[in-house]
Amino acid sequence: MKTKTLFCALALLAMIVAAEASAEAQKYSPHRTTVQQLTESAEVVIVGQLDRVDDIDLTEVGIDAAVHKRLNDGKIQDGQDYVRREAVLKVNTVLKGDPADLGSELRFVSIRQLKLENYDLDLRSGEAIYFLSKRPEDGRYVVLSDERGTVSTQECAGDLQTAVTYVRSQIEHGVTGTAAVERMLNAIALDGSRLSVDSAIELSWHHETYAPDVNAEHRNRILGLGRLSAPGSEERNQLLTAMGRMPAEGALEALLEIMLTDANWSTTSLASMSLEYVDRGQAISRLLSEYELAQNDTTRMVIVRSLGLIRPKLGYDGADLRNRTLNLVKGLLNAGTDKNLLREALIASRDLRSEDAHTTELKALIDARETNGLTGDEVNAAIVALAAGRTTDAEGNVNCFAKDYLLALGEADPVLDQVVKSAMKFPYTTLILGADGKGH
């Protein structure tokens, strides 16, 4: 029953963290490149200063030049035929590996074959922790996951030593156990720093690993950190998931409190998933009750969005919760509804698989499009929601309740024809522009 909410939430997390955790690192999985995961997987962990990048002449094109052909005038990647760029790291402290073997300088294949001047400023201007391993092709050291395999002083809010102490403690005492959980909780400073974000990611994505060692006090701390986290922050995104996976007493109330006071789509999505894990039926019932108490359209919008994500089902949640949800959404499908709230209601109508429950209201919105003040985005959303009103029998035969109406609409209005065709073919994946200005 959690498939849609879980898919949306996991996809969202991957996009948020991959896009924001580093200015340059690309094509990495955030949950596999936390400080904790890198410490475990790297052969060598070093605190050092990037000193220079040397060009090594080759007699052949070389694997690095082939993979990292120059892009954006070399600022993103700068592979050059017959050259391999090697970065040189001045070694200050060896946290993992044999200091005698590593020496005072360590060479590694330059990240995406960058020249020194094209490295991030934080790596050029000070010490950083580097997580490295030898690649199987030729035994040369590479930084794991490009810049994601480094932790700079800047990423640590100016205090690299805290991250160094953390990594050293993990190497000495391990990544699991009660002490490891407490180490992560202590590191979540809610300041957006690398160690804070990565520790929250660990508790979110790898909760199965840590759950056996998480006690009631830890659960309460996770809940408390979630409440204190800033709206829209990376820590909040991760802690919302951890609150559902390792719920403390009162987790459902805390999740509702956070969600109803933070209209970010990421918060609604992730909190909705966690509400399902804590108590799906109670969550739906509480959302319906909270709608009656809501004081403004922003709060109503969040509730409708959450109900659409959780999607009460007749066969699982019962007729009462299902019908109450359908009727709530139905009452919003009119041109007098606040536009943001209307858009979220249209998304919910589609996602609820409402069959013919909203057909009349959706047709009325579309038919009056010239005079009711709706923009093209709302009209398109109504078409998608109407196309989703269908049933599918055991043999896979589809009965779209408004099929004839939609076909006639497309024939009569060439501007809407493509929307109609896409919506009828892919009703549940054709995107609707939500209140956040993004497609859902």
pLDDT tens digits for range 101-110: 999 999 999 9
Q: Which two tokens stand for residue 412?
A: 């009569």
pLDDT at 14: 52
185 has pLDDT over 50 = yes
pLDDT of the residue at 118: 96
pTM, rounded to two decimals: 0.89
Whether the per-residue pLDDT at 7 is higher than 60: the answer is no
CA dist list (Å): 418 to 221, 358, 388, 412, 421: 51, 22, 16, 12, 5
Say which range, 12-26, 33-47, 123-137, 326-340, has the weakest mean pLDDT.
12-26
Q: What share of the chain has pLDDT > 70, as a percent?
A: 94
Q: For the chain, what is the mean pLDDT? A: 93
Q: What is the pLDDT of residue 20?
A: 44
Q: Which helix (H) or strand (E) holds 55?
A: strand 44-57
> Is a pLDDT exceeding 70 seen at residue 277?
yes
Task: State which amino acid sits at residue 279.
Answer: D
Q: Which helix H or strand E contains 180, and what residues bound it?
A: helix 178-187
pLDDT of 388 > 90? The answer is yes
For residue 129, count other CB atoms closer than 10 A to its CB.
27
DSSP-assigned letters across all residues of 291-357: HHH--SHHHHHHHHHHHHHH---HHHH-HHHHHHHHHHHHTT-STTS-HHHHHHHHHHHHHTT-TTT
Under a CB-based contact definition with an 8 Å cutoff, are residues 387 and 424 in contact?
Answer: yes
For residue 395, name the pLDDT band (cuts at 50, 70, 90).
confident
Q: What's the average model confidence in pLDDT over 408-437?
A: 93
pLDDT at position 374 over 50 = yes
> For position 255, what pLDDT does the model report?
98
Q: How far apart are CA 223 and CA 297, in angstroms?
A: 27
pLDDT at position 22 over 50: no
Q: How far is CA 61 from CA 67, 80, 87, in A?
A: 10, 8, 19
Scanning the structure block, which residue is given the tokens 């896009």?
19
For residue 117, pLDDT over 50 is answered with yes
Query: Which of 13-17, 43-47, 221-225 has the weakest average pLDDT?
Result: 13-17
Residue 13, pLDDT score:
54
CA-based torsion, 108, 111, 112, 117: positive or negative: negative
Domain boundaries, the chain: 1-24+176-290, 33-57+85-173, 331-440
What local confidence, expressed as pLDDT, does residue 389 receive? Answer: 93
Q: Is a pLDDT exceeding 80 seen at residue 16?
A: no
The pair of structure tokens assigned to 426 is 């892919």
Residue found by looking up tokens 């809501």 in the block: 294
- CA 302 to chain CA centroid, Å, is 18
CA 374, 380, 383, 389 torsion-angle sign: negative
Query: What integer is the mean pLDDT of 216-238?
Result: 97
For the residues 282-304, what does the mean pLDDT come to? Answer: 97
Find the mean pLDDT for residues 428-439.
93
Nearest partner of 422 among 376, 375, 388, judged by Cα: 388
Is 78 in contact with 112 (CB distance < 8 Å)?
yes
Rounded-to-integer distance, Cα 31 and Cα 58, Å:
36
Note the maximum CA span of the chain: 79
What local confidence, expressed as pLDDT, does residue 397 receive? 87
Tell me which architecture the domain covering 33-57+85-173 has in CATH: Beta Barrel (2.40)
User: Quick check: 408 pLDDT over 70?
Assistant: yes
What is the rounded CA–CA span in Å between residue 214 and residue 299? 33
